[in-house]
Chain A
């Protein structure tokens, strides 16, 4: 097995409190980022449609054309779907570009699927935001390394405090008429 995100910070961000382990039968939703194709070509296209000196400037792609370009290979789609179905995942939704797959599983199934993961519930922030996250790293079967970039919903916490500040009223500088 391998760890897709060994360098992802997993320490509890300030303002969050653990409410303990999640119930094994609880349902949770995980997002699988599937390996895309033709990223070199994508990079070229970004440059040609954004450079005013290029003959292709402003000739943007439609979502369907982007999908055509980056869509994961059928081997990737097949391998990941087979893996998820075998683990009991259900209600899987893809996106037009097919490079993300969001599925529902029980906590128990998810912890079996993503070895090492352990889901806890946390609460934080002024609006008492609640999340399910894993403080421990997850690992995937080696066979999936060519097919999955990362799994969303395990480690990253949402922001809970705005960076906007209400500053004290500035003191008048110089004589204000």
Chain B
């Protein structure tokens, strides 16, 4: 029984014991980035860990803040990112990237990309809460950002992007409705994280789709070969496919993974705040768990996981709880009546391959 998602609930559901924490002896590290110009306060993290972090060894302050941290109001997103990245990836050195303090004529996400191109030493895992509708961005910009994400992948960085909180999305193109994919979630060179809820919100039970979970098919990027089999299987077997005019069935499909995104407790500006929801919550949770797996890999002399998708799709969901119930939101019209894609066995464009079962996932990702 529980009254909202806390680190205890996350660690219980994903089978993390009190021993599943960073060793504190490696160069392992993780980072979270949000571009809302929100501030993050160390005092919130310390308070959060005092309230919710007693059952596992953890760090109560971040290792590094990149970007200015003013004395402004802390933002829920900035607080939540750090608190849950450091609860799932406990006792692992954590950086916070904050775009506050940039000049008025700069673009925060672009500045983050420049940082990636200018720092030799960076954390292995990055969780990023940022996305724009694909159709609002120029193709030149999208292709160039995609190249920047490829550069990060060749360096062994794991970039996890939130899949977005508008379900399949919806917009009207020359009078008819279509789903609206989000970028960089739709980039073939990142790992995208969707969202789930507990079937019973007060019990740690199996998970179902959180209706906000972003997902769908890119209108810009063709499907990468690593996901061809899984996505074709979904398209040929799902009993709930929306009309084909709503989406580009040959596009890069996302998300790749998921985690709980509903009903989190967050401490921000000294206040514990309940029932916070969004894929900006599920993304740091999954990021922390991948950092723990990196910890074990580094301790056994292996390189960090890097760009995960080719391996993830080869392993066909091993080590993950498959989410097979529920659909996410989409266009409110007669034709689809607010329903986008629905989850099903194996990969699906709502929860990807599913949510982490840490000991099983560690077993599948520790070697080679």
Residues of A bordering B, CB below 8 Å: 4-9, 28-31, 33, 36, 39, 42-43, 45-47, 49-53, 57-64, 66, 70, 95-97, 99-100, 102, 119, 121, 125, 127, 129-133, 149-150, 152-153, 155-156, 158-170, 172-174, 176-177
CB distance from A27 to the nearest CB of B (A): 8
Are A168's CB and B275's CB within 8 A?
yes
Residues from chain B with Cβ under 8 Å of A70 in the complex:
147, 151
Chain A contacts for B279, CB-based, 8 A: 163
* Cβ contacts under 8 Å, B72 to chain A: 127
* Chain A hits for B103, CB < 8 A: 28-29
Tell me which of A125, A158, A173 contacts B107 (CB under 8 A): A158
B residues within 8 A CB of A162?
A: 34, 36, 38, 75-77, 129, 278, 280
- Chain B residues within an 8 Å CB radius of A63: 117, 119-120, 155
Q: Considering residues A53, A159, A161, A177, which has the most beta carbons from chain B within 10 angstroms of its beta carbon?
A: A159
Stretch at the interface among B55-63, B299-307, B325-333, B343-351: B299-307
CB-based contact B153/A50 at 8 Å? yes
Q: Which of B27-45 contact A (CB under 8 A)?
A: 34-38
A167 CB contacts on chain B under 8 angstroms? 262-263, 275, 277
The 4 closest A-B pairs by CB, nearest first: A60-B156, A5-B138, A8-B138, A58-B303
Chain A neighbourhood of B278, CB < 8 A: 162-165
Q: How many residues of B contact A (CB 8 A)?
A: 78
The answer on a CB contact under 8 Å between B107 and A60 is: no
Check B108 for interface membership: any CB of A closer than 8 A: yes
CB-CB under 8 A from B302, the residues of chain A are 58
Is the beta-carbon distance between B104 and A131 smaller than 8 angstroms?
yes
Q: How distant is the Cα of A133 from the Cα of B277 in the complex, in angstroms?
A: 32
Minimal Cβ-Cβ distance residue in B for A48? B154
Instruction: Determine if B1 is an interface residue (Cβ-Cβ < 8 Å).
Output: yes
Q: Cβ of B309 and Cβ of A50 under 8 Å apart?
A: yes
A167 to B211: give the CA distance in the assembly, Å.
Answer: 13
* B151 lies within 8 A of A158 (CB): no
CB-CB under 8 A for A45 and B118, given A127-B72, A163-B280: no
Is A29 within 8 A of B107, CB to CB?
Answer: no
Cβ of A50 and Cβ of B138 under 8 Å apart? no
- Residues B35 and A99 in contact, CB atoms below 8 Å apart: no
B130 & A156 in contact (Cβ 8 Å cutoff): no
Residues of B within 8 A of A9 (CB): 135-137
Check B274 against A7 for contact (C-beta < 8 Å): no
Q: Which of A61, A96, A158 contacts B154 (CB 8 A)?
A: A61
Q: For the complex, give the distance between the alpha carbons of A59 and B178 in Å.
A: 41
In the complex with contacts A97-B151, A153-B106, A177-B1, A58-B77 CB distance below 8 A:
no
- B residues near A61, Cβ cutoff 8 Å: 154-155
Residues from 55 to 86 in B contacting A, C-beta threshold 8 Å: 72-73, 75-77, 80
- With known contacts A5-B140, A150-B141, A174-B200, A59–B303 Cβ distance under 8 A: yes
- Nearest CB of A to B90, in Å: 22
A-B residue pairs in contact (CB < 8 Å), sample of 21 = A4-B140, A5-B140, A43-B150, A49-B307, A58-B156, A58-B303, A63-B155, A70-B151, A96-B118, A100-B113, A127-B37, A156-B132, A158-B36, A161-B36, A162-B38, A162-B77, A163-B164, A164-B77, A164-B276, A170-B275, A173-B202
B201 at the interface (CB under 8 A from A): yes
